[in-house]
Chains A and B, each alone.
Chain A
């Protein structure tokens, strides 16, 4: 197929809302959004608690979390694979090669980002708010809701960063999902497979969607910081 025709076919797939194509996009979004949601529910309070807590070894924890932000997706995938494989500790759950396994692997990728960025945001805010919050009787864990709420614009950006990382990665979902057509095939694993098979229109179409998604994420992040600047000063 010549170059122009590939683009044309890819465009037709995107605009024509091909069911197989939509299913792949849908699964990708479902997996990644669920992973980000779980990471947010766990990571926001944990990051805030880490910002306020003082304990021996705290610096080591922070360094590890910062390092984990760069955890290679294939390693995260491998780890979850080992956990979920027949002989692994969570083997009896039978989750390997299911969307749930993919969500678990992506949570592992997103969680360090959410915790580390939340920790930084909340710690900065606490430095600024400490006197007032302590004055009105909000100390320790009781200060967390205020700090998370007031850091909402920066935290939204942190979640978007997590979403960006999870939606773009291929290693983890490939290893624990297995790229099973119609079941665990996501945009990134499909692009990998279709490119090597030579079905370039499908690969390119999915690539276009991914790029559009990245653009959208950045637009939203930009908007959030703009609104934040206007509203929060």
Chain B
């Protein structure tokens, strides 16, 4: 379908990030190949969110580097990000998507069609003309995902996408994410919710105190975590 080479795998090579005089992320190395849903798991303050931001390019590593298999030319980055608290522009639901498409350099003629497509794909067509900021929390996060999806990313980063949602909305978002993976989009998300990680992950990167403690397939990680930290976390004993 895509006529351009893939940006994946993404490789983090010995990535560190310092802030406030402390090392917040320390010597991370991992690769994200195409496909599947990778969960960054760990207690609060483990550096999950920072790691996503470093990968997405919102932050620059203090040391080490993030590299992609292919450099993307032009404005479209082909990786997108959804944040913990949905950032909704003060515009209609449809205009929120059209704005992101315009930012990516899509001509006006295509924006409308693609925004409409995204709205219908995510069940938001009826809300197209509503003010985005007046949607419910779950709908806002759905719109944020639709907006990212409309950019046709190969890789989608999500930072604790359901931590502010009620269980019903959380379930909806989880189903959505599974759908994205089935569609062939590579998903990398952070969560501190063990149940969610078990439901969704195909692979787990377990972080603790800014370091990558364990990198394993989900099927191996959850029954028998290799590290004491991960064992403690799964037993509910490791809180930070």
Name A residues whose Cβ lies closer than 8 Å to a Cβ of B.
128-129, 131-138, 146, 149-150, 152, 228, 230-233
Closest 7 CB pairs of A and B: A233-B133, A232-B90, A132-B87, A136-B103, A150-B90, A233-B134, A135-B81
CB-based contact A136/B104 at 8 Å: yes
Q: Does B75 contact A (CB under 8 A)?
A: yes
A137-B77, A137-B104 given; A150·B91 CB < 8 A: yes
B89 within 8 A of A: yes
Q: Cβ of B90 and Cβ of A131 under 8 Å apart?
A: no
Is B131 at the interface (CB under 8 A from chain A)? yes
**Complex: chain B residue closest to A135, CB-CB:** B81
B68 within 8 A of A: no
Can you list 20 A-B pairs, Cβ within 8 angstroms, ordered by A? A129-B87, A129-B89, A131-B81, A131-B87, A132-B87, A132-B89, A133-B103, A134-B58, A135-B80, A136-B100, A146-B89, A146-B99, A149-B91, A150-B89, A150-B90, A228-B90, A230-B131, A233-B88, A233-B131, A233-B132
CA distance A137 to B100 in the complex (A): 9
Query: How far is it, in angstroms, between the C-alpha of A132 and the C-alpha of B91 when the chains are bound?
Result: 14
Smallest beta-carbon distance A134→chain B, Å: 6
Q: Which residue from chain A places its CB closest to the CB of B86 in the assembled complex?
A: A132
Would B133 and A232 count as touching, CB distance under 8 A?
A: yes
**Chain B, interface SS category:** loop
Chain B residues near A135 (CB-CB < 8 A): 56, 58, 80-81
Which residues does B use to contact A, with CB under 8 Å? 56, 58, 75-77, 80-81, 83, 87-91, 99-100, 103-104, 131-134, 151
Q: How distant is A128 from chain B, measured CB to nearest CB, in Å? A: 7
**How distant is B58 from chain A, measured CB to nearest CB, in Å?**
6
Whole-angstrom CA separation of A228 from B89 in the bound complex? 13
| Residues of B contacting A138 in the complex (Cβ-Cβ under 8 angstroms) | 103
B90→A233 contact, CB < 8 A:
yes
**Which residues in A have their C-beta under 8 angstroms from that of B75?**
137
**Inter-chain contacts of B103 with A (CB < 8 A):** 133, 136-138, 146
**Which residues of A are found within 8 Å of B87, using beta-carbon distances?**
128-129, 131-132
Q: Which residues of A contact B91 (CB under 8 A)?
A: 149-150, 232
Residues of B within 8 A of A149 (CB): 91
Chain A residues near B131 (CB, 8 Å)? 230-233
CB neighbours (8 Å) of B133 from chain A are 232-233
Q: Cα distance A134–B99 when bound, in Å? A: 13
* A68 → B minimal CB distance (Å): 29
Q: Which of A132, A137, A152: most chain B Cβ within 10 A?
A: A132
Min distance, Cβ A127 to any Cβ of chain B, angstroms: 11
Chain B, Cβ-Cβ closest to A132? B87
Give the shortest distance, in Å, between A226 (CB) and chain B (any CB).
13
Task: Give chain A nearest CB distance to B75 CB in angstroms.
Answer: 5
Cα-based distance from A231 to B130 in the complex (angstroms): 8
Bound complex: CA A131 to CA B157 (Å): 13
B83 neighbours in A (Cβ, 8 Å): 131-132
- Cβ of A222 to closest chain B Cβ, rounded Å: 18
Q: Tell me the nearest residue of chain A to B56, going by C-beta.
A: A135
Q: In the complex, which residues of chain B have a beta carbon less than 8 angstroms from the beta carbon of A232?
A: 90-91, 131, 133
* Chain B residues with CB under 8 A of A230: 131
20 A-B pairs besides A233-B133, A233-B134 with CB distance below 8 A are: A128-B87, A129-B87, A129-B89, A131-B58, A131-B83, A132-B83, A132-B89, A135-B81, A136-B99, A136-B103, A136-B151, A137-B77, A137-B104, A146-B89, A149-B91, A150-B89, A150-B90, A152-B90, A232-B90, A233-B88
A138 to B102, CA, bound (A): 10
A152: chain B residues at CB < 8 Å are 90
B90/A231 in contact, CB under 8 A: yes
Report chain A residues within 8 Å CB of B99: 136, 146
Report the separation of the CA atoms of residues A150 and B91 in the bound assembly, to the nearest whole angstrom.
7
- Complex Cα distance, B157 from A134, in Å, reads 14
Report the minimum CB–CB distance from B62 to chain A (whole Å). Answer: 18
Note all chain A residues with C-beta closer than 8 A to B58.
Answer: 131, 134-135
Give every chain A residue within 8 A of B132 (Cβ-Cβ). 233
- Per the bound structure, the CA–CA distance linking A134 and B100 in Å amounts to 11
Residues of A within 8 A of B56 (CB): 135
How far apart are the CA atoms of A228 and B132 in the complex, in Å? 13
